[in-house]
Structure 1
Amino acid sequence: MSTDLLQLDVDTLFEQHSVSEIDAVQKKIQTVVENKREELRTMVGERYRDLLKAADTIAAMQASAGTLIEQVHCIQGNCRSLNEQQLLGFKTTPTETEVLLHKRAVSKQLTNYYSTMVQIKLLSSLPELIWTHLDQEEFYAATELFIFSRHISTGLQLDAKNTLMQRLPVAQKQWEILRPFHITIKQAVLGVLEREQLSADMAVDCLLSLLLLEKCDLGQVLQTFLHLRSTAYFNCLQSQSSEGEKDKPRRVKERILASLHILNGTIELLDTCLLADGLLFKRLAECVAPTAAPSINRMDSSDRELAHLLPDIIAGYKPQFEAPKLLPAQLCDALQQWMSKIDSLADKHLQPIFGLVSSMQTIQDIKLAAGSTAKRDYAQLEQQLALPQAQLDFYKLKYMPLINARIREIIRSSWVEAMQQAYDEVVTLAENSSPPAPLQIWREQSDDLPLSLAAALSDQPKRLANRTKGYDAPTITLCAQFDAQLAAIVQELDVLLQEQTARSEDKLALINFLRETAEQQMTSYLTQLKALRLTERQALLQALRNTLALVELCPHLKLCFCQSSSWRQWVGNQTAAGAEHWQRLCALIEEELMQFWQLVVDDILATHSCADKLPQTITHDVVLRDFALWQTQTLEQRDEEHDQSVQSTIRIPCQPRLSLQTYLHQLIEVLNIAVPQTLPSKVLQAFNQKLLGQLLTHYEHLSAAESTKSSQNIALQLYFDLKFLERVFGVNREERSLYEQFHVLQRSLRDCIDPFDFELFAEHITTHVSRATARLHGELGVLTPPQDNTPAANASSLSHEADPNMLCLSSSGSTSLWFPLLPIVMPQAASTTTFPVERKPPATEADKAATTPTRKPGARRSDASSKSKSSAASFFGMSQEWFR
């Protein structure tokens, strides 16, 4: 086992040794500890005994020294007495002059003694007095007392060879106590000049203290002052807590206003203190005036009572200043250097602080607080200093641009956030879209109609009108949230526009920026929406409905373009320009959404193509199954040769092919499932254009078939279908290309019909086409344009007009009806439905009985029905055309 107990490892000891060995180690350690304790007690006892012995020796030496001194004093007394006795016969009487000189010497020595004592007393009193003035922030008084103490100490040190001074080393030690006050006073003065709040009197007191303490010229003091004010500006921008309360967090508004106050206050201090006849020069004149009190007067009253014991150079001491000179050019150069430094600090630190401002109300408070401070005209000061005009207006030069930039950033960021949230919600709704129930939109609900007139006239969304446009509850909620965010932006901007001190140019610039931001964000939204490349039909419909809803159900979006009445006093003649921008945005949205509608239309027509739904060749089976109704017409002609009447029968189609009707009804069902509300006119026009293009291609293929050329009846039915399609879809000359295609195809089919027969058929075909159009127009109302054949281009908007009359919900406007009532058809004789054949010989009597009589146009109506319709029309405020 190792004998070095200090190097023992406890873990190793317990692992490698037995219990008995461990006990032996413990006993050995205890023995060593006891030995050490005994040695310590012995050593302490010996040293304590030596100390007691030394103390006794010192006490004995003190008693011996006292006895020796006393004996020496006795020897001196005996010697003096012996000397007087030995020289008694040799003494002479001193003269009066000698006595006077002796008295003067004794008096001078005594005065010197008292003067030295008083000066030492002053030096001992000065530290406490200087600290008192420093605590009271009387820096010039503290500096004057420090200079006074240095003056006293210098005089005493010059008299250091004097016997009295050699016996009094306390004077030199007291100066060692007073010497650090030079740095203490200077640091206190510099700290005060770095404060945010600095009065003119305090600034002058600090500047006088620096002039007296450093013995420098006024230019250097000015440089120091401006440097400290820039440091105060930097500290104000960087400080996160209040100056008086270090633990209290400092608001951004307070930091901005405090920094502005520092800049304006610095200019005010320069103007008040350092320009001609400034407060600093007045105080300097008072300090160097002959009537100025000496520095001894700043001492306590007990010390001032001993002033007669001091020499005149001490009692009458006053601080001395060199004649201060500060040229305007020197002040201008220093001020320009300071402003360049402030510019660099503002660029680095002021702009990030403005970035922390999050609301318009805070900006409004900053502007009001900055405007409420007394504004002075710096023109005279700038003229004196030969500075550029408006160089000293820091609020206008540095703060207003940052305020305007922050206002624009808040508007832009708020718009970006609102638009991004709306876009995300639109994407979510588009991804989670599902086919709506067709009857859900038209099903009446209890909360559709307003419960009161006030609710009807309010700005609340009209639920029934919104449901007819396909705007479901999530879409309305999305628009409400988006409009609320825009309302907050408009409201915050309105707070700034109501400010009376702001210029009209700035207000107009803010209004234009709001419009430009809104236009930019809406354009970006459309770009993002297009970048999704939606292909699913329901997703496309949901996206375009939501986008249209943002325009229709968000009134504050329009306010961003077409300003409210309270803003127009600043907009002036640019109100029309705002409306033009709004129309341009609506046109852009309509154009972009039209592409979405085109995708929906293409998808519907691709899924339900006429090439798949209509027969491509006309056979006998197709004729029996597809040519549904032909009407037999009896014609009477006079045979001049036999002088008798000849009757002949012709058969004319009365309605389009059943496959064509079925195909059109299938398209209507698909549209009702995909878009369970009326299509916008422009979309319907595009849908019809593509549909008619496919149908014309189909009929062109049929007209070129041999079966059509060989059968006059097939050609006649196809000709009837084309005339029906042209009439029911309102194809006119304005649609030149489509119109020409129809007539070219009709001419090709007419060439397949006998000209003489076609002359007989033409008038009847036209009549039957008109009847079929009137009869089927109501059933095909989703596809067909209004009955008045108004071009769809006149109603080119994708958004439906707001119609307050609930009776006209099926209309796209006040004049055009989407779903007109079915026409009134007079009863007529039963038509014969047969397979069309060629012309027959003269008809029999039975055929005459089956002949359909010709009815004159214009059915007579009873007076009672006219009166009832007239009264109903007057009650609902509608024309009688509505009941036809």
Structure 2
Amino acid sequence: MSVDLLQLNVDALFEQHSVLEIDTVQKKIQTVVENKREELRTMVGERYRDLLKAADTIAAMQSSAGTLIEQVHCVQTNCQSLNEQQLLGFKTVAATPISASSTEVLQQRSASKQLNNYYSTMVQIKLLSSLPELIWTHLDNEEFYAATELFLFSRHISTGLQLDAKNELMQQLPVARKQWEILRPFHVTIKQTVIAVLERENLTAEMAVDCMQSLLLLDKCELGQVLQTFLNLRATAFVNSLHSEDKPRRVKERILASLNILNGTIELLDKCLLANGLLFTRLAECAATIAPPSITRMDSSERQLAPLLPDIISGYRPQFEIPQLLPEQLGEALRQWMAKIDGLAAQQLQEIFALVSNMQTIQDIKLAASETSRRSYADLEQQLKLPQAQLDFYRIKYMPLINARVREIVRSSWASAMQQTYEQVVSLVNSSNASAAQQIWREQNDDLPLSLAAALSDQPKRLANRTKGYDRATIELCSQFDSQLGGIVQELNVLLQEQTSRAEDKLTLINFLRETAQQQITDYLSKLKMLQLQERQALLQALRITLALVELCPNLKLCFCQPASWRQWAGNLTAAGIEHWQRICLMIEEEVFKMWQLIVDDVLSSLSCAEKLPRTITHDVVLRDFPLWQTQTIEQRDEEHDQNVQSTIRIPNQPRLSLQTYLHQLIEALNIAVPQTLPSKVLQAFNNKLLTQLLSHYEELAASECTKNSQNIALQLYFDLKFLERVFGVSREERSLYEHFHTLQRTLRDCIDPFDFELFAEHLTIHVTNSSARLHGELGVLTPPLANAQGAINVGTLSHEADPNVLCLSSTGSTSLWFPLLPIVMPQAATGAAHVERKSLALEADKPTTTTTATTPTRKPTTRKNDGSKSKSSAASFFGMSQEWFR
């Protein structure tokens, strides 16, 4: 039940509600009453506490007022004593009683003194009226010591007039008191003006001495306090020069202004405050007895009234002792000031240097700063017992900040260029597809240079770059990245050519550029690895661009291998730079090789030889898979019957059809995955994995019963292995693969009759040679160049060592990666290879593992004559070139 207790009607309550509800209402009323009582008690207690606090405050104020009254009485007593002392020069000696005859003379003399007192008072008031304008004039002319002296002169006059306030004349001239009220604020005005002048950026020694004299005279303080004020104000000027809120200035001007203030402060201390400095010379001149009185600074009209003034006014001049400043005091004050400057520079000067955005500004700062910092303060440091070169602010405070800013500009520029390049790489990788990959092979108008000058220029060799898989987007990306790095190198070259920098700083800068480049490239490879690319086209695009950064960005190499103009500072670091560059190239090649492995592993996994080749050899497989063997007629001499006997043998002349089909399918898959030929290093790794899988397959076939029971099957498999070994160029350097091939060949040879094998060996070797030479062109995507297949060692790389050139398309050197020419089949080469094969077979036959021996009748195989003539190319004869150039 909700009842409004304020508008409760008791009669209606008893009529409309039950006893329980009425009891509930009564409890609510009691609760509200108790709450109100508690609030009332709290409120009364708080007000009582406030009253007690106010009473205590009144008692304390009464005690303070009593103390203040006592101090006022003391001040009055001191002022009365001072009044009596200051009026000694104004009072006349009391005359002794004289006779009545001289009364008239005394009255005339008294009237004359009253008249002189009147004129003197009027002249003093006239001086007080003229002094404000005169003080303002000296302030406008920046003559602060003169203005201070006139202010003290006005205070001296006003003090005399106020002490004679009980005089009847002074009571009739209240203008004297009002004039002092006008002159009194000049104490603050002069001090503020002096402080403002000492905070200027450009302060001469004469102006600084004038300001310090004014402070000494105005505040009657010690020279140590004036020195502390001067140094604090110069620190304030240093801070103001960095901010320049009144008039916006360039960053270079702010930095140079702050440096000029620091150097100027030390120069002022050297000229003004050392022994026999300008300040002590001026103070000695002002304190000399022949120094003119202050009234001489008044206008000529006021100076003519000087005889009417009392001597204490007309002869007034400031009185002070020449202060002393020990070198220890100056050195301690200078150390404290330098510590304060260190704190300010560490915070605010570093913020200003952070606004410098290019190397040209830094060079301008260094040139201007070196010109203003040529003076040495060795004598001052020796006198003040300061560490050597402690006052060289440019070297101690500015050079570290300049070097740090240069490194930050280099690092930020490198990071920005690398981040922008990485973002473009990610964009190209995400947008890569098979159609875009095939676009590289379409002919374009700008593939070949239009003139010899264009061919010899530094323009991108588009056709050569396209042979490596670099499309237009990749070339433009590398060009943009290289231009950004070129800007960094060019800006750095501006600083390195600057003659005022030390060789150590230049060497440090070169090392920092190399370290930054290495760090950024490492970060780029790490971020590229974190993408975890799996798609073939994405991997292919990423590895192409990464290799292109090395090949198409010459300025990247300059960050590691210094230009020729930098060698004079790099010194012995040139070899180290080349080593670092080779290390970076090796690291990039390793990462790119891992991407290549992902691509080739994907191709091999999609086309496994275990699935594409028959696992067992049956009669149906023999009829379908084995090619037609070549029939060979052998003529040999029968010694018993003394006649020639001809026999016919059948020898395989090409590998199994399924093996050829599988290799062609593998080539088609590679052509789809990678439009251009694989690099030699990748091809070597791919071939090793492929041959390992094929050898495992042939091991299963060699272990089967069909192979062991059929000599023809074993002979065909043996031919396949010899063909694979020759066409893929397996050499002794690849020890494990080479041993695996020959172990498996011996296993298959054991399944062949030794007499038959001896009979077939020479012809088998010739057929293997002819077949590998015939199919080498068809399998050129997989097989290495013919010279390498014949036993030469192939040193595989992923990038060209020299500039790309169209001639590399037909080169078979160690730097060739793309499109080897089709092999030239020569009978002499085949015959020579057969002779080598016979030698190897003879050596193998002499091994102890051979269990059967048989005598082979003499035979005379038919051979074809070859005159060894070489055909010459018409192009070679036309250009006067030998045919060796085309190989």
TM-score, normalised with respect to structure 1 = 0.82
1:143 aligns with 2:143: no
TM-superposed deviation, 1:481? 0.8
TM-superposed deviation, 1:801? 4.6
Counterpart for residue 821 of structure 2: 820
User: What whole-Å deviation, never above 9, does each CA across 1:597-628 have from its counterpart, x for those lacking one?
Assistant: 11111011111111122111212222122112
TM-superposed deviation, 1:804? 6.6
Counterpart for residue 761 of structure 1: 760
TM-superposed deviation, 1:872? 4.3
TM-superposed deviation, 1:236? 2.5
User: Which consecutive residues of structure 2, in runs of 5 or more, have no partner in the other structure?
Assistant: 1-98, 828-859
Q: Please, which moves more after superposition, 553-562 or 300-309?
A: 300-309
Question: Residues 549 and 769 from structure 1, CA distance in 2 versus in 1: closer, same or farther, beyond 3 angstroms?
Answer: same
TM-score, normalised with respect to structure 2 = 0.82
Q: Please, which moves more after superposition, 436-445 or 260-269?
A: 436-445
The residue type paired with residue 393 of structure 2 is F
Question: Residues 777 and 679 from structure 1, CA distance in 2 versus in 1: closer, same or farther, beyond 3 angstroms?
Answer: same
Does the 8 Å CA contact 2:373/2:394 hold for their aligned counterparts?
A: no
Question: Residues 516 and 801 from structure 1, CA distance in 2 versus in 1: closer, same or farther, beyond 3 angstroms?
Answer: closer
The 1-side partners of 2:654 and 2:470 are apart by 38
Does the 8 Å CA contact 2:629/2:651 hold for their aligned counterparts?
A: yes
User: 3-state SS of the aligned residue for 2:458?
Assistant: coil
The 2-side partners of 1:104 and 1:330 are apart by 59
Question: Residues 508 and 138 from structure 1, CA distance in 2 versus in 1: closer, same or farther, beyond 3 angstroms?
Answer: same
Write the mapping of 1:728-877 to structure 2, written as runs, cut at 5 A.
728-789=727-788, 794-802=794-802, 806-811=806-811, 813=813, 818-824=819-825, 854-857=863-866, 859-861=868-870, 865-866=871-872, 868=874, 871-872=877-878, 874-875=880-881
The residue type paired with residue 233 of structure 1 is F
Question: Residues 460 and 813 from structure 1, CA distance in 2 versus in 1: closer, same or farther, beyond 3 angstroms?
Answer: farther
The 2-side partners of 1:630 and 1:487 are apart by 65
Report how many residues are paired: 756
1:215 aligns with 2:216: no
1:460 aligns with 2:485: no
Counterpart for residue 74 of structure 2: none
1:194 aligns with 2:199: yes
Write the mapping of 1:431-470 to structure 2, written as runs, cut at 5 A.
431-436=430-435, 440-470=439-469
User: What whole-Å deviation, never above 9, does each CA across 1:623-648 have from its counterpart, x for those lacking one?
Assistant: 12211231001223444555554432
TM-superposed deviation, 1:823? 3.0
1:301 aligns with 2:300: yes
1:176 to 146, 166, 181: 181
The 2-side partners of 1:354 and 1:793 are apart by 58
**Greater CA radius of gyration, 1 or 2?**
1
TM-superposed deviation, 1:543? 0.4
1:880 to 876, 879, 883: 883
Counterpart for residue 534 of structure 2: 535
The residue type paired with residue 188 of structure 1 is T
Question: Residues 629 and 822 from structure 1, CA distance in 2 versus in 1: closer, same or farther, beyond 3 angstroms?
Answer: farther
Question: Residues 588 and 792 from structure 1, CA distance in 2 versus in 1: closer, same or farther, beyond 3 angstroms?
Answer: farther
The residue type paired with residue 856 of structure 1 is K
Does the 8 Å CA contact 2:809/2:820 hold for their aligned counterparts?
A: no
TM-superposed deviation, 1:442? 4.5
Counterpart for residue 5 of structure 1: none
User: What whole-Å deviation, never above 9, does each CA across 1:175-207 have from its counterpart, x for those lacking one?
Assistant: 122112111111111122122222211111110
Write the mapping of 1:658-677 to structure 2, written as runs, cut at 5 A.
658-677=657-676
Question: Residues 210 and 706 from structure 1, CA distance in 2 versus in 1: closer, same or farther, beyond 3 angstroms?
Answer: same
Write the mapping of 1:43-62 to structure 2, written as runs, cut at 5 A.
none
Write the mapping of 1:346-745 to structure 2, written as runs, cut at 5 A.
346-373=345-372, 375-436=374-435, 440-640=439-639, 644-745=643-744
Does the 8 Å CA contact 2:785/2:812 hold for their aligned counterparts?
A: no
The 2-side partners of 1:171 and 1:729 are apart by 121
The residue type paired with residue 138 of structure 1 is E
TM-superposed deviation, 1:654? 0.4
The residue type paired with residue 176 of structure 1 is E
Does the 8 Å CA contact 1:436/1:673 hold for their aligned counterparts?
A: no
The 2-side partners of 1:537 and 1:599 are apart by 8
TM-superposed deviation, 1:102? 3.1
TM-superposed deviation, 1:282? 1.4
Does the 8 Å CA contact 2:465/2:804 hold for their aligned counterparts?
A: no
Does the 8 Å CA contact 2:474/2:545 hold for their aligned counterparts?
A: yes
1:234 aligns with 2:233: no
User: What whole-Å deviation, never above 9, does each CA across 1:195-242 have from its counterpart, x for those lacking one?
Assistant: 222221111111000000001111111011111111222222333342
TM-superposed deviation, 1:880? 1.6
TM-superposed deviation, 1:697? 0.8
Does the 8 Å CA contact 1:332/1:385 hold for their aligned counterparts?
A: yes
1:101 to 88, 97, 106: 106
The 1-side partners of 2:627 and 2:569 are apart by 70
The 2-side partners of 1:178 and 1:757 are apart by 136
Q: Please, which moves more after superposition, 161-170 or 574-583?
A: 161-170
Identity %: 75
Question: Residues 803 and 548 from structure 1, CA distance in 2 versus in 1: closer, same or farther, beyond 3 angstroms?
Answer: closer
TM-superposed deviation, 1:430? 1.1
Counterpart for residue 230 of structure 2: 225
The 1-side partners of 2:455 and 2:875 are apart by 29
Does the 8 Å CA contact 2:809/2:819 hold for their aligned counterparts?
A: no
User: 3-state SS of the aligned residue for 1:647?
Assistant: strand
The 2-side partners of 1:577 and 1:217 are apart by 63
The 2-side partners of 1:267 and 1:883 are apart by 79
TM-superposed deviation, 1:685? 0.7
Write the mapping of 1:56-75 to structure 2, written as runs, cut at 5 A.
none
Does the 8 Å CA contact 2:683/2:782 hold for their aligned counterparts?
A: yes
TM-superposed deviation, 1:857? 4.7
1:160 aligns with 2:169: no
Cα RMSD (Å) of the superposition?
Answer: 2.3
Q: Please, which moves more after superposition, 669-678 or 196-205?
A: 669-678
User: What whole-Å deviation, never above 9, does each CA across 1:259-293 have from its counterpart, x for those lacking one?
Assistant: 11111111111111111111111111221222322
Q: Please, which moves more after superposition, 438-447 or 204-213?
A: 438-447
TM-superposed deviation, 1:405? 0.4
Q: Please, which moves more after superposition, 449-458 or 603-612?
A: 449-458
User: 3-state SS of the aligned residue for 2:788?
Assistant: coil
The 2-side partners of 1:281 and 1:767 are apart by 113
User: 3-state SS of the aligned residue for 2:200?
Assistant: coil
User: 3-state SS of the aligned residue for 2:772?
Assistant: helix
The 2-side partners of 1:518 and 1:159 are apart by 87
Does the 8 Å CA contact 1:294/1:315 hold for their aligned counterparts?
A: yes
Counterpart for residue 287 of structure 1: 286
The 2-side partners of 1:405 and 1:882 are apart by 56
1:337 aligns with 2:336: yes
The 2-side partners of 1:804 and 1:491 are apart by 25
2:126 to 118, 121, 134: 121
Counterpart for residue 17 of structure 1: none
User: Which consecutive residues of structure 1, in runs of 5 or more, have no partner in the other structure?
Assistant: 1-93, 243-248, 827-850
Counterpart for residue 67 of structure 2: none
TM-superposed deviation, 1:487? 0.6
TM-superposed deviation, 1:882? 4.7
Does the 8 Å CA contact 2:284/2:322 hold for their aligned counterparts?
A: no
The 2-side partners of 1:457 and 1:883 are apart by 23
The residue type paired with residue 158 of structure 2 is S
Does the 8 Å CA contact 1:786/1:818 hold for their aligned counterparts?
A: no
Question: Residues 815 and 363 from structure 1, CA distance in 2 versus in 1: closer, same or farther, beyond 3 angstroms?
Answer: closer
